[in-house]
Every structure is written in structure tokens, then in C-alpha cells.
Amino acid sequence: MGFGDTAKKIQTLADKAERTYQKINELRSEVEETQTTVLDTSERVQRLENEMAEQRAVLDAVAREVGVDLESVSTEAHIAEAERAAAEGAPEDATDDAASAESDGGEPTDDDDAA
């Protein structure tokens, strides 16, 4: 094999290495952007959850003040939701998740799905 063939193969290999290096840098940038987005989203979700908890506390206080039975309202809402889901042919465990979350005192969360 001559030096010309070897130089050509080395140049081809160097070109491939350069393209691979550029692609790795692009992927690194995308991963960093994704991590930033995930962190921002996590912070936003936490703020929204805190705000929702505050609003729930205010709503509960107002309901108690005006004499609304929160248990019966919640039960009626879950019954209506279960009936709607049954009519639409939804899987039964979807309504179970909502009912179990309410019995825990909150809304259904991703944590409920993992359990």
C-alpha cells in the first residue's frame, strides 16, 4: 500500500473524527438545555403545587365558614366521575386512583401512579 492511500485513509478517518466530535458537542448542548428545562419545570411545578395547597386551604376555610360539607361534596363528585368514566368505558383503576388520592386529602399525583 502506498503513502497516498495511507494519507487518504488517515484524512478520511480525521474527517469522521471531526464530524463525531461536532455531533458530541451538539448532543452535549442539547443535554444541558434539557437539564435546564427540567430544573425550571420542576421549580415551576413546585410553585404551582404550593399555590394550589394555599388555595385549597382557603377554599376549605370558606366552605367550613358557610357550612358546606366537604366530605359529601367530594363523595358526590367522585361518584359522578366514576359514572362518567364507566359510561365512557374507562379502565376502573383510573377512578380508583382519584378516589384513593381524595382519601389521602389531595388530588391524584404522579406519586399515586407509581405506588
Residues 6+ apart with CB under 8 A from 94: 85
Q: Which residue would you say has higher pLDDT here, 48 or 111?
A: 48
Predicted confidence at residue 112, as pLDDT, reads: 46
Predicted confidence at residue 18, as pLDDT, reads: 97
Cα distance between residue 9 and residue 80, in whole Å: 72
Please give the model's pTM, rounded to 2 decimal places. 0.51
Predicted confidence at residue 97, as pLDDT, reads: 52
Query: What pLDDT, in 10s, does the model give residues 33-80?
Result: 999 999 999 999 999 999 999 999 999 999 999 999 888 888 999 999
* Alpha helical stretches, state H, the chain: 3-66, 70-88, 92-103, 110-114
- Our CA dihedral for 104, 107, 111, 113, rounded to 10 degrees, sits at 100
